Structure 1
């Protein structure tokens, strides 16, 4: 598309004049009602004159306005060419939007055009959210054009950086069918929230909140022409600054609890603690020097744990600095440099060959080098797992007192019943102390059941094998599936195949219980090796493993061959007898076996399980030497186990 400037036509000038006249009318209405709840009170000089001057004198803003509403587009010879040119403008615009980076550094925003710094997440839904528009004044035309082109009903923004000199008409850009609701920061620059709402949603302002570090705006929309309460949906847009004072958090939470349930559109930019700079020695000394026996005396379980959590959180606030998370946090230094270089190049030229080559290099580096971020899981009491790891000796005293108070009183602390549930993943984060208490109770119960022989012996096999799996995966840090499978064959599979000739379950439930150990292990191996998910049969084929059921059937055939040919010293008179047929058959041999007694349904031995298969073998097979016989059976798995009971 030709990028050279073109002279404005008479039609474009007429359309621009109409746009200015519409803005005049809207400004007059706005100034006539200065107490409007939709927009802040502004002076005539700061609103009216600035808009008229910007639209009439500034060629740059005029050109942006023409591009935004497609007024004054280059006229071609025919209307079809003009329409085609407008479609190219649309396509060019959305190509730029689709190639925008995920995160942009604030220090580079001033030097870049608006179309290169805009970050939008625009899908086909009616309710859309766009957040983090630093210097929103630079991209108002682009945002308004996108809203009109996509026909968004609700469009929320945070970090608008607006103030009382910015009029609502300046933000609407002639969109007569939209309303704008905003809450600007008043004590300093930055921050601010804004909502564009279509008139068909019947938007009604509810309230706004502007306190140090927090900006919030709430509106109600209605699904149809009825404005009854059951048709109302409350939309709340919130911004929390990274340096928001903690003292204002209760005020903000109280405000949210009064106006709405959990908000629909939120940008919390919450700072995280920089645990790499934490002073763990001082934290441990404070916990160790505190007299917990007196502090927790005559307290209930809930009161005792509240005292403990408040004490530890106070230490974390004092001795662990805060940090604002970055997009490249957790990367090694060379990957962080590569990530920042890719970000800058993507902002300047998202579709050039250098960008694609650098992106491929960065993705290859991510796959080659294992990036291990510290495990800092959230918790409702704000005491992370890392705190218990670093302070395990000092926190043991208060936790032991709390753990003794809870079973004695028969009441668990109320904080242990709270969980943070993610909206995007089905995961609930509970208090770490409750998990520790649960683990201690489970270990004591299992030890008591084992000591008194109250557990089913059949459960002991799988329980020990699962414990060995967990221990092995924690001990082996490798991501090689070959190494993990080799360790599994050495340390875990022998536990599942111990004495299978004597005990080989035939019930479907027991068969699947034994198989579940290997099923879970193979799934975790694929995850550890960064491989995509595969069903259980495909996992076995990929890792070159057999099902445990097949291996038990194979061991029965091996042992039966050894016992018939005298390789093992065993009295088999009460298990089977050699009973060749009186007449020869094609599939018969002289080592045919028979059960010398009536076999009940519950009876199971290696001979009874393998009798049918053994009698169906031919004479050349049963007369083979030991090793060729085993190799032949392994090459014909369907003959060894024609029907499997495993639930795939």
Structure 2
């Protein structure tokens, strides 16, 4: 451990300080004098990272005109509330000269004050970096770019709010890395996650990839196992739905897999492209040369200068020197990189001292390449894509009905004078008044959900992960880094085991089977984009609806409609009515579930308020029967079926329904009201028999309108024939 470094101005003060620390008290003896400085004893790499981070923070503060950035643990971070410059800060930055360079040129010794001595200590290491190169030493263009990227990424990695972060890892079987991947997905730090060596096959679901996070789309290419080649290999790419990902192609050859995904981004002045292409590759060390040649030939047809392309993965070419772009033997990958103007961005060995995991791009769209916590014996790679960050998803609030105050809701509904409220309103206005009244009560007495925090993981796990990530960035492939990674993985596995034991030992079978189902089946995910028949990409819902409509119209034909016979006149007509018993019976059949309805009144509200809600529903239903208005063309068949049912029940075959066929249309919200429930016992039995079927086949209708629909007659576009209706009556008659 390297906790502190204390520099004393004299040997006597040093001995006095050490004697107090080594004594029985274990603390230094008070003494008079000034210490040069006390700070953490940092390694040269840590000193350089801290110096670069301070320079970047100073530059941002000067540009902002106030202190907005600081340095903590070699990383740049933003203050929540900016502060004004201190008096010394402003005077020290009035000029554009570099004070460190001036001190190095002049060779002057720094003063012995605390603050200045600290700068002098930093400048001592800076002087080494500013020393000129020998005359006979030249730098290749790739090495110059390599040093520039190394200096930029090793300084500090600040997740910019204007870029999209990408995470790449070699997993060596993602099946046993589900806790780690779930932790990374829950952090929401990375919009794109690429994985090599997934070791999955066609029999395994996408749960091992998305881990119950439906906002990520999984794209994968698994290895085809044969007798000669067993398990292993495979690549996957997880993309957030805000980037509208579309799978372009997947490639599989002998011990080599690849997956190509497009990210569709908005066109801006800073990023004048409509998309960026991500290509994930895994090549086994035993893969033959012919497989690599086939892959490169496949990639040539999928890369273009019209949009950026990023190729990343585990290529297993340890013999290539990426500083000089040379190899002991001829390598087709180097020819492909040079011919297509790709740049390699990984400047650190990913496994031991070998550069196996690589990142290429044909445009300058990659920033802040750095190592991160590994998932296997390979270091993970994180970097930023300079593409516009999609707007954050707004939290959609929902009502928490399990915490609702049902006593107050029932009291307000029961004490309200519905007769007076509906006295001067028609059917449509009465229903709108009822819906508005109920929703106002729900807004008042039902709490709303709040957005969840960072994740469900405890703070201790987040701290361990942060330490592991910082150690991987500062001292990659070191013993301390691997030990911290093991500590994090052990703590994470213990947390998941505790969570599973809690679910298994609980007395809630629904929670147990829900957990088992989530492990067996991946969440249902709707693709963000589809490809039309002409090859165009459809991203918006309007374009998708038009495409589906065009496809269905090309398959189905319009039904041949024949003219309906004229209804025979009738002198009598029994107007059906709705009673309180009918409403009570219908409400008793409702299951208290939270279903989605257009009027935002789910079944649980009607079930919990069944005793108080009878009065308004009774008025609305009977008023709708007395003022029935139907579509003259669309519902003509329905009128004839109602006539037939009335004739069967009442043993009368003459009924005048011509007035119903000439009325003006009514809004679709109240259409299911119009049939009502006839008061005849036989037809009431028919309604009770078909109630469940009606409720299941008509989910778009609101819950109150589903209560008193007449069954299949009204809910289908083409009503059932009279023969079928008569058969249903015969079957339901006791």
Relative to the length of structure 1, the TM-score reads 0.24
Q: Which has the higher contact order (CA 8 A, sep 6+)?
A: 2
More helix by percentage: 1
User: Normalising to structure 2: TM-score of the pair?
Assistant: 0.21
Which has more strand, going by share of residues?
Answer: 2
